[in-house]
Structure 1
């Protein structure tokens, strides 16, 4: 029996050794897998960390620079401004800030009046005129006043001095009244701040501009601070402007002698590229 037991012990030992060897192989394989996974995770974490530091996960709001507002339009309410018209508001961003644009006003008084809008000095005034012109806001309206300062007053469809769009905006490009010379023995003559042909905005109240504007048909030298934003200068149609300046005025409903005795009607008012096609016929008339 002894040899048989020895043999059984040897067989059992061999079986145990084989099982131990297989377990050792499996354990080495498991360790290699875990080591590979660990290394991969480490590489992945390093890559993700580098990308995070580099801003790869930043949102578009952080990486994209938003365009700044160029003009701000103050909304008005219809209840408080019954004479105003809701035509929306111009855009606040991506507006021209350099160069000039052409303003063309065709009236019933003769050849069109053209003016160069100073976009660089009055970007918001030019943008508002362009926007309203695109809405045909001025077409078919009357210039309702001729003022004793030598300007025709237009751009109020209601003719009340209260009309305009349901927004307002601040003054731009107002001329500065120079300080009088200290050595002057007599009061200095007021300088001309609004030469003939100047186009300005006029707000009611002051510094609250909308659609209303003035075109000066003679020089104006205010003795107090200037309050009209200059937006441009007449470049054509001066004969028409001079004719308008000679129209007799009568007393209006408020008791002021500013109402033109004959109508001054704006047939069309255009700005920019549209103005070129409108101005072309008048060029042939003048030639």
Structure 2
């Protein structure tokens, strides 16, 4: 029979283990935030020993739900609206998705008509119900129509800023997005490489700050698993590879690296199908 003293010791050990786990989680989050601040505009990504920032809007976590260890939001979808006084001029306000409980079974097909050809991305709703709901909402408003992919690095092409339009590039390109943010989903914490060729992932500026910017992986790259895997290119990866063949202008070299694509890569339209 277990003595009272042994039970007390077991309870004390359990409390200590719980406290240590909480401290480790808090320390991890502090490190992530410090990385975000250090990058200036976004988290740091280590790619072949080179640092590259995948950026979107500034960090605003006041009401964002905490994600679980697998990157899933803890209770439905929360669309964390950015206060009007904190919005940059590049924010495009088209409202927020109407649902907080989107479908979580089946798939949706995202189709991009680009200046280099068509690209199709399949989203698995069991993995990214909230991200898919956000894309459906924004696509229904023509959010990405006639925008340019504004940044690239070998193996990666970043798109999704609604303000990146027209001739040339501006210093503000890469800062635009919707008037809300939402939590991470489907983080590839156990996958190696975490982001293989064909993956499409969400850009962010810190934990749970997803907006509208996303990036294509067209060659295997090693990144920290901090970016929601939105889906998989099922048709048109060769289109992305062709579009990036001309390289970039080195605007962000040597640090954080990369630059604007030398070829204008325009998203003429982006549509999302109904769940299948």
Instruction: Please indicate the TM-score interval, normalised by the length of the shorter structure.
Output: 0.5 to 0.7
Match in the other structure for 2:28: none
- How far apart, in 1, do the equivalents of 2:126 and 2:156 lie? 24
- How far apart, in 2, do the equivalents of 1:241 and 1:261 lie? 13
Preserved CA contact (<8 Å) 1:119 1:231:
no
Structure 2 vs 1, CA of residues 71 and 198 (structure 1 numbering), >3 Å: closer, same or farther? Answer: same
Aligned match of 2:87 in 66, 81, 88? 81
- How far apart, in 1, do the equivalents of 2:219 and 2:263 lie? 20
Structure 2 vs 1, CA of residues 206 and 93 (structure 1 numbering), >3 Å: closer, same or farther? Answer: closer
Match in the other structure for 2:157: 152
SS of aligned partner of 1:234: strand
How many residues are paired up?
192
Query: Is it true that 1:207 corresponds to 2:208 in the alignment?
Result: yes
Structure 1: gaps (5+ residues): 1-68, 179-190, 277-287
Match in the other structure for 1:90: 97
Structure 2: gaps (5+ residues): 1-74, 165-172
Q: How does 1:6-155 map to 2 (within 5 A)?
A: 70-82=76-88, 83-110=90-117, 112-148=118-154, 150-155=155-160
Preserved CA contact (<8 Å) 1:154 1:212:
yes
- How far apart, in 1, do the equivalents of 2:139 and 2:157 lie? 19
Match in the other structure for 1:195: 196
Report the TM-score, using the length of structure 2 for normalisation. Answer: 0.64
Match in the other structure for 2:183: 170
Structure 2 vs 1, CA of residues 158 and 253 (structure 1 numbering), >3 Å: closer, same or farther? Answer: farther
Preserved CA contact (<8 Å) 1:161 1:204:
no
SS of aligned partner of 2:219: coil
Q: Could you say which structure has the greater relative contact order, defined with CA pairs below 8 angstroms and 6 or more residues apart?
A: 2
Q: Deviations over 1:251-283 (max 9, x none)?
A: 337975310112110001000149x9xxxxxxx
Measure how far apart 1:142 and its partner are.
Answer: 0.5
SS of aligned partner of 2:85: coil
Preserved CA contact (<8 Å) 2:244 2:263:
no
Preserved CA contact (<8 Å) 2:183 2:207:
no
Instruction: Tell me whether 245-254 or 263-272 shows the greater mean CA deviation.
Output: 245-254
Q: Quick check: which has more Rg, 1 or 2?
A: 1
Preserved CA contact (<8 Å) 1:70 1:92:
no
Match in the other structure for 1:183: none
Q: More helix per residue: 1 or 2?
A: 1
Measure how far apart 1:147 and its partner are.
Answer: 2.2
Report the TM-score, using the length of structure 1 for normalisation. Answer: 0.62
- How far apart, in 1, do the equivalents of 2:101 and 2:190 lie? 33
Preserved CA contact (<8 Å) 2:151 2:158:
yes
Preserved CA contact (<8 Å) 1:103 1:272:
yes
What CA RMSD, in Å, does the superposition of the two structures yield over aligned residues? 2.3
